[in-house]
Amino acid sequence: MKKRWVINTPPEQSKIEELTKKLNCHPVVANLLLQRGINTVEEAQAFFNPSLHMLHDPFLMKDMDKAVDRLDRAIAADEKILIYGDYDVDGTTAVSLLYKYLKKHCNQSNLEFYIPDRYTEGYGVSVKGIDYAAENGFSLMLITDCGIKAVEKVKYAQDKQVDVIICDHHTPGESLPEAVAVLDPQRKDCGYPYKWLSGCGVSFKLVQAHSLKHNLPMSELYKLLDLLCVSIASDIVPITGENRILAYYGLKQLNTQPSLGLQTIIKVAGINKDITINDIVFRIGPRINAAGRVESGRKSVELLTADEESIAKEIAWDINHFNDQRKKLDHDITEEAIRDINRSELEPSLKTTVLFNAKWHKGVIGIVASRLTESFYRPTIILTESNGFVTGSARSVEGFDLYYAISQCSEYLESYGGHKYAAGLTLKLENLKPFRQKFEEIVRQTITEEMLTPQINIDACITLSDITPELYHALQKFAPFGPNNTIPVFMSKNVVNFIGTRQVGRHNEHLKLVVVDDTRICKDRSGIAFGMGNLYDKINASRSFDICYTIQENEFMGKNDIQMIVKDIHFKDN
């Protein structure tokens, strides 16, 4: 599929030159800083040297004082506290963080956690969970990573004499639940300076506020940042502002003194190098998620809060097995869904993909939705049957507000929730056909052809001579990378094929690319273009072409070199 290159608008040249001189850095580095809104030496120093002292005062969050006061009363009165959270990585890390913190500050026999079953209870706050709290004498529920739209459920809890504190980060509905406290920086009336915390991040602000109120050592609190970093990476929230600080120090914790549970996952995953955000996204997070997808998210919390090595190892191997099962389910369902799409005569003309199969495993349909969105590049909803309803996950493409489109079809839905790029929904089977038609209609009216073309955002146009070890090491200071602070992508124009370009891989599916500038003045540069082996003949036949890429350090036979990771190639006839 042809990709659209969008080159970021460069800052004024005079500003680049000024910042380059003041920082004594490469102009490319100054350019990238300015694009990220970093305009002064002081801002650059704060960006490159994040400090935990830069974290915002948690009491700036609406209802934080109420939440801490209620928590204090519960601890002082020896009340029973139930920590309730979603079954995904963000939810299970949030529950684990709250549990590990509170067990040091209250009677541990009065503290429990509850993870709803994906299949019998579904997403969010469940009646079963509230009943469990009421029947077992819990007078306070801390609900994390869900609950912002649970207006009726919170009222039900109140009727059962159970108080509720909500720690969520999702978009609120028209009215808020009447809980004791509703912590959510997305609230319209919340003046908290940073709006993009994960669910675990909001829970961290609660315990930070509790620690500040009681003058507790922050060093103990910061030991929990490994859990928070895993949630930030896995929930794909922006790694900017406060999230960047938390992720930066969370990675340090993860690489030096991870908690027993995370340390065990790292070993099972076979990670034997410094852990990055990518390692969390692709190797650690999926394993934590797998428990909730295949069996129960409770297993993940048991691992993340484990104190005994033997127990942690046993659970970690179980979770690794769940992850193997998840991968097979994911592969098989994705293949079946692609066959369904290819068989449909209508599909090429549609702007959406909405597929339903009652036999598909509920635990992996979100992953399948993501894969199909990547393959066909249009808003995608994958649905299955659960508890007599049609339920599923939705994923969007760059720039398109999926949540809005789904909200415009609410007359056919029993429930829905999420944000711009990912959502979940439940409906009755008889409403599936009209929902599918209405969703296609709304998307067709609001999406543009540009949105339906995969986009590569390019930070800057540079020459091959700019690619040096010095530039590479300067770029590493921009880490941790993630949404809104992505690994810099560069473009070089009019490069020429050089001696050494060849197809590689078992089936010649990749391309080892060796190029020079069309001036041929600078040294040749090499790169790897995954999945582009089919372009070999065209590259040999072309006088010159443009490439976009990231740069990374490559170690081979004890020698380090800088190579390009080629993302796309544009030929002059494109």
Mean pLDDT of the chain: 93
Is pLDDT above 70 for 147? Answer: yes
Is pLDDT above 90 for 85? Answer: yes
Domain ranges across the chain? 4-49+455-571, 58-320, 344-446
pLDDT at 521 (0 to 100): 65
pLDDT band at residue 519, thresholds of 50, 70 and 90? low
pLDDT band at residue 121, thresholds of 50, 70 and 90? confident
Q: What are phi and psi of 554, to 5 degrees?
A: -120, 130
Return the CATH architecture of domain 344-446.
Roll (3.10)
Is pLDDT above 80 for 226? Answer: yes
Residue 114, token pair as written in the block: 């509850």
Over residues 438-462, the pLDDT tens digits come to 999 999 999 999 999 999 999 999 9
N-to-C CA span, the chain: 12
d(CA 194, CA 305): 28
pLDDT at 522 (0 to 100): 65
Give the closest residue to 421 by CA, choosing from 492, 475, 366. 366
- The mean per-residue pLDDT over the stretch 365-370 comes to 93
User: Which fold is adopted by the domain 4-49+455-571?
Assistant: OB fold (Dihydrolipoamide Acetyltransferase, E2P) (2.40.50)
Q: Do 170 and 186 touch, CB atoms closer than 8 A?
A: yes
Q: Is 472 exposed, middle or buried (0-12, 13-18, 19+ CB in 10 A)?
A: middle
d(CA 339, CA 336): 5
Contacts of 269 (CB under 8 A, 6+ apart): 279, 283, 284, 287, 320
pLDDT at 293 (0 to 100): 85
Contacts of 112 (CB under 8 A, 6+ apart): 80, 81, 82, 83, 136, 138
DSSP 8-state symbol, 549: E
Higher pLDDT, 287 or 387: 287
**What's the distance, CA 477 to chain centroid?**
21
Q: How many residues are given for the chain?
A: 574
Number of neighbouring beta carbons within 10 Å of residue 496: 16
- The mean per-residue pLDDT over the stretch 98-108 comes to 95
Return the CATH architecture of domain 58-320.
Alpha-Beta Complex (3.90)
**What is the pTM (predicted TM-score) of this model?**
0.90
SS3 223: coil
Over residues 293-347, the pLDDT tens digits come to 888 899 999 999 999 999 999 999 999 999 999 999 999 999 999 998 888 766 7
pLDDT at 552 (0 to 100): 92
pLDDT at 548 (0 to 100): 97
Give the closest residue to 478 by CA, choosing from 14, 56, 34. 34
pLDDT band at residue 119, thresholds of 50, 70 and 90? confident
